[in-house]
Structure 1
Amino acid sequence: MMKKINIVRSWLIGSFVLFGITSCTAGFEDANRPGHETSLEELGRDDYAVSSFITELQNFAFPEQENTYQNTEDLIGNYLGRYMTYVKPDFSVKNYTCFNASDDWKIVPWRDVFAKATSSFNAVAVLTQEEGPMYALALILRAQLMLRFTDTYGPLPIGVEEDANAYSSQEKVYSHLIETLDKAISIITPLVETNPGLVLKADADKVYGGKMNQWCKFANSLKLRMAIRMRFVNQDEAQRIAVEAYKAGVIEQNEDNCAITYIPNGQYKTSVDWGDSRACADLESYMNGFGDPRIYQYFKNTEEYGRRSVVGCRAGANVTNKDLAMKKYSAANIEEDSRGMWMTAAEMTFCRAEGAMLGWDMGGTPGALYN
């Protein structure tokens, strides 16, 4: 797949270079093309090129590949959120948990994901001429990815300033992402209203199998997630966006959860296979303390346990013996072929409960939605 994507990217770059060359070179590309490689026209058939870049964008927007997952999700969000923590001695000196992560760690998401994802999105924009449902899908995937990046780094270069390479404030990034999600929704909604079961390029879509009504729900759900985060800064605008998103249709049932198939699952590799991460004591203490039965869905039993079968490791602990820590603390309860979960009906109902608490029209009372 990566080879084919690189072929497409090479043809795109080549097409821009050759655009102004006169007809004396007509047919030059085909005459010199290796017989085993496809032409740009062939790659364009059945939206093959667009589909390849959509698949690549999904891998960036929902990074489950083990190295990317560890560097962009596990070491950052899972650890700072106190869901998991590291038990690898190499991570004990400098890390996000202790707020002294090395520059090498901090640059990886930017270097390995942001630039490549931007390139993939731009390719889709060119190939679709910024029209149609595949372009709308690319806008949604870009919004998912950019939201994670602005919440990680703050200001981003999103191409809306006078200098296209200049950084925009996080406020402007959020506004831009809302606008692009609205554009995507405006493209998809009329299509699914006419044909609720519309499926496009199922083979290229590892999340929803090409079901456009589910992508529309995900786009609205992203807006609701953003509105809840915005409400501490601009509550009136947050309310407008939240109510608009809810009434347009967010994820309310588990069958609409946003989950991607990538084998092996990223967290399976980092926690179970490699043993680099274990349950964090913060979350484990809360769940054990309140007798929360979901703890056994989250974490495996330890290999050696006494009073508790699920045991968490203290965040920021100076772990010096990984083999011992792997036995003492609980791994994530996840399998190699588990789907990576990125947005759920539970999260959206929780967001609606928070909105209802503020007096927003979220279709229920805070208590009923929370419960």
Structure 2
Amino acid sequence: MKLNKITKTAICLSLLATVGCTDNFEDINTNNNGITPELFQQDFNHIKGGFAPIFNNIQTITSQLEWQYQLQQGLNSDIWSGYMATPTPFGGSNNTTYNLNDNWNGFVWSIAYSNVMYNAYNIEQLAKGKYDQFYALALILKVEGMHRVTDTFGPIIYSKYGTTDATIEYDSQQNIYNQMFSELDVAVTELTKRVDSGDDGTASFGKTDLSGYAGKFEQWIKFANTLRLRLAMRIVKVDPALAKTQAEKAVAQKFGVMKTNADLFQIQSPVNTNPIATISGSWLDIRMGADMESILGGYNDPRIATYFDTSAQFPGEYKGIRTGIEITAKGDHQDFSGIGAVVRSKNIVLMTAAEAYFLRAEGALRGWNMNGDAKALYEAGITTSFDQRGASGAAAYITDNVKTAKAYVDPNFPVNNAAAVNNVTIAWDAAATNEVKLQKIITQKWIAGFPEGQEAWSDYRRTGYPKLFPVLKNTSGGKISTLLGVRRINFVQSEISLNKGGVDSGIAKLGGPDTGGTRLWWDTAAANF
């Protein structure tokens, strides 16, 4: 399958629900506005025009396309992470009950390839070797966008993207991660060289940059280093030596990783709010997850007031829904807690300084050089998250060695009740085992990362933390374990139809059946330590 086949297929899938697809694909994409190529190339517009579609589709944030976000992430990782749940039956058997819906899940693939991968590839063709600052920035965004895709499916098209072969082979996830580390090397080296030469990036990229960094290369380097640190930790159980090398490299680089909330990576849309605000506030299709109620409520965590609204049915209370239950009617739970002020913003946060501290805390726990000890970094992560959310009381919260998660109670359907499962306190305990310390780190990282469910789901698969309530209704037909939850999404139907040989190569490298119960390369059954 050729590149134009991948692109056309992906774009058609993205547009199908709104306008349908057409055989006049090339005609539709012909410029009729009289703008000549020479005019378009002024100020590198022919290159920089590809950045906005990448920014806007790592997560789909375009107004009136909230349904795309819902299918891209809202009805998979946001739910499987324990963050959110839906009151809507959606036919009664779907992702929430582990019967993976191929019609929903294809959007994870199609949005990424038609927007992130396509534009990153195009920028590479135009800029590499000539305008390498743009190539470097596109590489960072490509890694940010596509690591989410490989962490969803496993093997995907990566190194072979853009080839003209009749069949495009999938890369193993191991090879994808190795290439991503190399791409971050190229990007960091190029941007560091430019900063050292006196070019801070604001003149060339400031107007194009939707991240809030105003084009500043130093901020992009910190983001790339923190992204490297995230990917390094992801592979810690399958390749601990490489994980250590990459993590220490990220922290030791001259600009280091994110340390303050000014460093966080976000998409600043000029017009669009977070799609979760519409899905929750207008459609009432998403609500607080029972795990969030259990953990935040048990800890009396003040961030809950920013994350969620109180329940319309139970005034003054925060009430979540358990995922994977029998839902007969939307009205049974739609008046539980919606998602709060955290999503009523034009800024969509994808990586935080708090995450960087928790990653470093885990690295220090494993004996790596993270420029700090595990306790100090863990507490810095909590404090940074409190500051980010405008919450007070971090000092007392950090020292609390009594509170734990609370039992979940569904006041409408007691069959959904459950005893608390994530039973760790907040305060660091030097005498605790490494396993308990890791559970504390990941639990606080999980709280701080809300509402970014993709990263939370990946951490849960990698570590088993925080411990989450199991589903009560599993309609996977034995393909997905109730105890372990969904490990990945099936390969997409468009690829099976148009690139069957490529899918077959992916299944061979997956190392198991093409189901939601097959573990990814980095998701091993080995112990955390």
- TM range, normalised to the smaller chain? 0.7 to 0.9
Distance 2:313 2:263 in 1: 38
**SS of structure 2 residue aligned to 1:204:** coil
For the pair 1:205 / 2:209, whether they are aligned, the reply is yes
Contact 2:277–2:343, Cα closer than 8 Å, also in 1: yes
* 2:342 alignment counterpart: 334
Distance change in 2, residues 1:196/1:203 (3 Å): closer
Post-superposition offset of 1:334: 3.4
Report what 1:181 is aligned to. Answer: 184
Match of 2:100 in 1: 101
* One of 25, 32, 50 as aligned partner of 2:47: 50
**Are 2:253 and 1:253 aligned?**
no
Instruction: Tell me the CA shift for residue 52 of structure 1.
Output: 1.1
Instruction: Look up the SS of the partner of 2:38 in the other structure.
Output: helix
| 3-state DSSP of counterpart to 1:184 | helix
Is 1:221–1:348's contact at 8 Å kept on the other side of the alignment?
yes
Is 1:239 aligned with 2:244? Answer: yes
Match of 1:350 in 2: 358
Gap regions ≥5 residues in structure 2: 1-6, 8-29, 380-529
Rounded Cα–Cα distance in structure 2 between residues aligned with 1:196 and 1:122 = 25
Q: Which moves more between the two structures, 81-90 or 264-273?
A: 264-273
CA shift, 1:61, in A, is: 2.4
Provide the residue aligned with 2:488 in structure 1: none
For residue 273 of structure 1, what is the aligned residue in structure 2?
282
Farther off after superposition, 344-353 or 287-296: 287-296
Matches for 1:185-196 after TM superposition, within 5 Å: 185-195=188-198
Shift of 1:304: 2.6
Q: Structure 1: which amino acid aligns with 2:56?
A: N
Task: Tell me how far apart the structure 2 counterparts of residues 332 and 33 of structure 1 sit (CA, whole Å).
Answer: 42
The answer to whether the 8 Å contact 1:284/1:311 transfers is yes
2:175 corresponding residue in structure 1: 172
Kept in 1, the 8 Å contact 2:156–2:171? The answer is: yes
How many residue pairs get aligned? The number is: 338
What displacement does 1:45 show?
0.7
Q: Whose helix proportion is higher, 1 or 2?
A: 1
Output one character per residue of 1:239-259: Cα deviation in whole Å (capped at 9) or x when no partner.
000000011111111001011
2:490 alignment partner in structure 1 = none
Q: How far does the alpha carbon of each residue in 1:164-223 deviate from its partner, in whole angstroms, 9 at most, with x for none?
A: 821111001100011011111111011112337431322221112212111111111110
- Percent identity over the alignment? 31
Q: Which residue of 2 aligns with 1:69?
A: 69
Residue 230 of structure 2 aligns to a residue whose secondary structure is helix
Residue 117, structure 1, aligned to residue 116, structure 2: yes
SS at structure 2 position matched to 1:61: coil
Letter in 1 for 2:267: I
Farther-moved stretch of structure 1 (57-66 vs 248-257): 57-66
- Stretches of structure 1 that go unaligned for 5 or more consecutive residues are 1-8, 10-31
Structure-1 separation of matches of 2:365 and 2:311: 39
Superposition deviation, residue 129 in structure 1: 3.5
Alpha carbon RMSD of aligned pairs, Å? 2.2
Shift of 1:68: 2.9
Moved more, 206-215 or 165-174: 206-215
- Give the 3 Å change call, closer, same or farther, for CA 158–136 of structure 1 in structure 2: same
Partner SS for 2:287: strand
Aligned to 1:25: none
2:251 is the alignment partner of 1:222 = no
Deviations 1:275-306, CA, capped at 9 Å, x for gaps:
11000001211111122222112111111316
